[in-house]
Structure 1
């Protein structure tokens, strides 16, 4: 079965803002927050989960599907009752937040969603050439690529979206570090690679990106120190032989990886 994908359409081409001057913004990275006219809207858990689900689905969601996903522990009619309650508790804002048809629901096109915009930025970074423009690089640096998607939520329906976003942002951070290195924005390149390493301390490609960023700015000592530190982590956590020389071992593994057509290991 094909897994759902994040909504990639441009959320900024919306029609008139139905809230007036302030465009509603829905934040899902790092935690849930709905901001309208500069104020954070207090919402119940059911309403928050419903908005999050609609924000992560591209097509309209049948009401029965939304009810079954969000209230999976309830029988069919009871789940639909819970859904109607979540809609009701949105209050006067409901019409501006959700396009509600008799059988399906869709997030309003006037809402800007941070993860949609961040996903588009990742797509642009991954699809750009090594000589990305300064404007594109600044846009990527301004984007939130540090936070996970609703990290404190453990809903079963959400897991595929959390996994998709995590992989997307890690690949984008590594690619962004390479683009920044090519543009000689060395400090920012190191920061992007560090963000990937901190997100997944065991991810080989993230450590590759950081080592290359250090080397490109002329800090070979930092690159070597990082290799040794990473090697120590692998030895302690994965039980590798501590007697091995990290530089020689990783260098040999890197050469073998490149010889076999891969990207190597670290160096």
Structure 2
């Protein structure tokens, strides 16, 4: 049985903003150094002290980086208690800390591609960047990974929704995927397939034409043969008065 299940929960927000909420109290004013430590542990899980010091203070020598880490841990221990614990040689967030990113990741794991899909799920996949404004290399890496996983999940949601005959949810997922990455061809193909299943051939061709123009104008490349094959049978249907 989980002894922490009924304990007051800390809330750590990394999506759309950085914020730490104390149980039954509200936001906590946390210095940037300590924010970075909590965020790295939340994103990458338990880590050894030398790893954390090296990632968080890459421009400092080892003694200075370790001193910074000790200072951050001292502040956290005296101001917010056991939010970070030390076990098996690694630092880890305490079990009473809920992280919004972890909730999003439940949509990005094995259950993606198995359903069910709803507009609420699509919304969860579509918004809120990871630690906006942060430019540390590890944040940029994680933000890029999260971005790619979101796109894959949205495209998988299109397939699921189309398979269930839910073209409205499929259209929402495909449109959000295109919005996240206008240059991603797999997202455009997903949107074309939605229009085709709805019988909106002119809309499908319009998606193709817009994308082909974007690639030519911005990158000097053409769409893939796969997308061309998908649209080619529609061209007569799109213009035929019948």
Measured against the shorter chain, the TM-score band is 0.7 to 0.9
1:57 paired residue among 44, 61, 69: 44
Tell me which moved more, 103-112 or 85-94: 85-94
SS at match of 1:112: strand
SS at match of 1:26: strand
Q: TM-score, normalised by structure 1?
A: 0.73
Residue 240 of structure 1, CA deviation: 4.7
Change in Cα spacing, 1:14 to 1:151, as seen in structure 2 (3 Å) is farther
Does the alignment pair 1:89 with 2:66?
A: no
- Higher RCO structure (Cα 8 Å, ≥6 apart): 1
1: CA distance between counterparts of 2:91 and 2:17? Answer: 23
Question: Mind listing any 5+ residue stretches in structure 2 that lack a counterpart?
Answer: 233-242
Question: Mind listing any 5+ residue stretches in structure 1 that lack a counterpart?
Answer: 1-12, 256-267
Does the alignment pair 1:16 with 2:13?
A: no
* Partner residue in 2 for 1:152: 133
Please give the residue correspondences for 1:83-232 in structure 2 after superposition, counting only pairs within 5 Å: 83-90=69-76, 91-95=78-82, 97-101=83-87, 104-128=90-114, 132-133=115-116, 137=118, 140-141=121-122, 143-232=124-213
Q: Deviations over 1:97-119 (max 9, x none)?
A: 21135953101122222222222
Whether the 8 Å contact between 2:174 and 2:191 is mirrored in structure 1 is yes
Does the alignment pair 1:251 with 2:228?
A: yes
Count matched residues.
228
Q: TM-score, normalised by structure 2?
A: 0.80
* Partner residue in 2 for 1:28: 14
Whether the 8 Å contact between 1:50 and 1:70 is mirrored in structure 2 is yes
